[in-house]
Structures are given as C-alpha cells and as structure tokens.
C-alpha cells in the first residue's frame, strides 16, 4: 500500500506542480478536471443513499467557478454561486414530485463543496506563485506528517467513528509540520513575520485536517470506504484533495488579512 501511494504521488505531484507554476489555462484545466472527477465520486456516494440532484448544473457551476477563480474574479465567482443557488432551489417549484428538498440541497452541497471551494487555488495563484505554493505545501506537509507520525507512534484514536486510522499523535505531528513549513516558507518566500507565518501555517494546517475529516464523515454516512479508485493507494480524487478544499480558502483569507495588517 505504501509503495503504491508513493508511486502515485511521484506521477501526480509533478503534474500538479507544473500546472500551479504555469497558472492560467493549465491550472484551469487541472482544477476543472479535479472538480468534475470529484463531482462524479460525490454523486456516486450519494446515489448509494438514493439521493438525486442536478448533476449537470453542479458540474457546470463548478467549472464556471473554477474559471472565475483562476481569472481572479471574485465578483464573477459570487455571481455564479448566487445564480446556481437560485436555480438549484428554484427547480423545486416545477419538479416537486421528482426533485425533493434533499436533492436540491445535495446539488447545493456539490457545487459549493467541489466548485466554490475549489476556486480558491486559482485565487491564490492570482495573488502570485508563492501564495499557492505555500497553501499547497502546508496542506501536503500536514497530510504527510500526520500519516507517517500516526503510523510510527499513533496510539490514541482521533475520530474512530469517522476515520479509524487517524490518531491524535498523527494530528499533532501534522500540525507541527504545518507550523514549521508555514513558518519557514512564509518568512523566506512570502516575507511574512515569524508570528504571521506561524499563524498562517497553524490555521491552514488545521483547516486541512478538518477537510480530511469532513470527507470521511461524508463517506461514512454513505457507507463506503473510499470515494473512488482512480488513484491507486489513495482512493478517489476526493480522497486525495479533500484537505485542500478547506485549506485553500483559509490560506487565501489568512494571507489577505496578514497583508492588511502589514499596511
């Protein structure tokens, strides 16, 4: 399992890094593909519970929001979100018998979770290369340190009902890595103060771990172990990028707040 995870990472990481470095169209293609693949996994999971939603709407909205994020247009992002909410809820008026309130809110959850939140890596890249690199780096450092720390010394379960493999020791190891990586990267790459960089690493790492657990909660409620099988050793796309969906928005606003405080 570990060998498979490493091989998959060695193949996928360069692609992610290259798209992040180039930004623009390559980053849009990557994020849009991730949104649509994860959306397929999302609806597959909910389908196990008999939930039906507007898949085409959620997918189209996700791609449009990712495009707005890569372009740095928060106004367009907000507009797409508003129109999508109106459409998702408005359809109930005309399809009451075939489209329930549960379906409507599942549609909203999908387009917000896998579209709106996934627009933030694009917004980070619009700020510059280092903001995106810092957010992704802290997220990966947190996930990696939590995984290996848990394997090495993990004893006490963190959330056994959601993710039996996660431990308190692993979570602490992940947070230490987040603060160290965020601190060093923030100071030497982004010019943040030591306190500001450490705080950035702390909140971004915490968001990454919550994002991981949130996806675990979704899977457990649907009675499945992995969201998919596309990435050998990792599960599905959503299994691999769940942390970044939460950490990227937190990193974006944390960096903007730190910039305001420096003025």
Question: What DSSP letter does each residue of 159-188 carry, written as one string?
Answer: ETTTEEEEEHHHHHHHHHHHHHHHHHHHHH
Q: Cα(90)–Cα(94) distance, rounded to whole angstroms?
A: 8
- Greater confidence (38 vs 11) lies with 38
| pLDDT over 80 at 98, yes or no | no
- Side-chain-side CA neighbours of residue 153 (13 Å): 10
| CA nearest neighbour of 52 among 92, 10, 22, 25 | 92
More confident: 14 or 131: 131
Residue 34: closest CA among 119, 108, 107: 119
Region of poorest pLDDT, from 33-47, 139-153, 187-201, 216-230: 216-230
SS3 98: coil
Tell me how far apart the alpha carbons of residues 81 and 40 are, in angstroms, rounded to a whole number.
Answer: 20
Tokens 């998959």, located at residue: 8
Quote the CA–CA distance of 22 and 230 in Å, as a whole number. Answer: 25
d(CA 100, CA 51): 9
pLDDT digits (tens, 9 = 90+) for 141-182: 999 999 999 999 988 999 888 888 899 999 999 999 999 999
Q: What integer pLDDT is reported at residue 229 of this predicted model?
A: 76
Decide: helix, strand or coil at residue 157.
strand
Query: Would the pLDDT of 6 be above 60?
Result: no
Q: How many angstroms separate the CA atoms of 149 and 99, rounded? A: 45
Q: For the residues 193-208, what does the mean pLDDT come to?
A: 96
- The CA–CA distances, whole Å, from 182 to 28, 139, 174, 243 equal 25, 10, 12, 16
| Segment 18-76, tens digit of pLDDT | 999 999 999 999 999 999 999 999 999 998 888 989 999 999 999 999 999 999 999 99
Q: Tokens for 215, please give them.
A: 């996806």
What are the residues facing 231 on neighbouring strands?
235
Percentage of the chain beyond pLDDT 70 is 93
Question: What pLDDT band is residue 184 in, cutting at 50, 70 and 90?
Answer: very high
Rounded CA separation 174/240 (Å) = 16
Report the SS3 class of residue 158: strand
What is the C-alpha separation between 174 and 176, in angstroms, rounded? 5
* Lowest mean pLDDT across 18-27, 75-84, 201-210, 220-229: 220-229
């Amino acid at each position: 399992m570990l060998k498979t995870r490493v091989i998959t990472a060695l193949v996928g990481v360069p692609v992610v890094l290259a798209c992040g470095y180039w930004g623009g169209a390559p980053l849009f293609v990557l994020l849009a593909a991730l949104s649509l693949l994860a959306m397929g996994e999302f609806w597959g999971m909910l389908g196990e519970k008999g939930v039906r939603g507007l898949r085409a709407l959620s997918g189209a909205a996700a791609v449009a929001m990712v495009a707005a994020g890569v372009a740095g247009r928060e106004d367009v992002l907000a507009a797409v979100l508003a129109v999508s909410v109106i459409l998702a809820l408005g359809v109930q008026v005309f399809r009451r018998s075939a489209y329930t309130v549960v379906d409507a809110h599942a549609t909203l959850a999908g387009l917000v979770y896998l579209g709106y939140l996934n627009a933030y890596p694009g917004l980070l890249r619009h700020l510059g290369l280092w903001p995106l690199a810092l957010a992704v780096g802290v997220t990966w450092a947190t996930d990696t340190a939590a995984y290996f720390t848990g394997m090495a010394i993990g004893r006490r379960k963190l959330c056994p009902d959601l993710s039996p493999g996660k431990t308190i020791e692993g979570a602490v190891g992940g947070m230490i890595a987040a603060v160290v990586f965020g601190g060093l990267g923030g100071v030497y790459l982004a010019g943040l103060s030591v306190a500001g960089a450490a705080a950035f690493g702390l909140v971004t790492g915490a968001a990454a771990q919550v994002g991981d657990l949130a996806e675990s909660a979704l899977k457990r409620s649907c009675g499945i172990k992995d969201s998919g099988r596309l990435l050998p050793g990792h599960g599905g796309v959503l299994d691999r990028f769940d942390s970044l969906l939460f950490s990227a928005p937190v990193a974006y606003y944390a960096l903007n707040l730190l910039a305001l405080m420096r003025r």
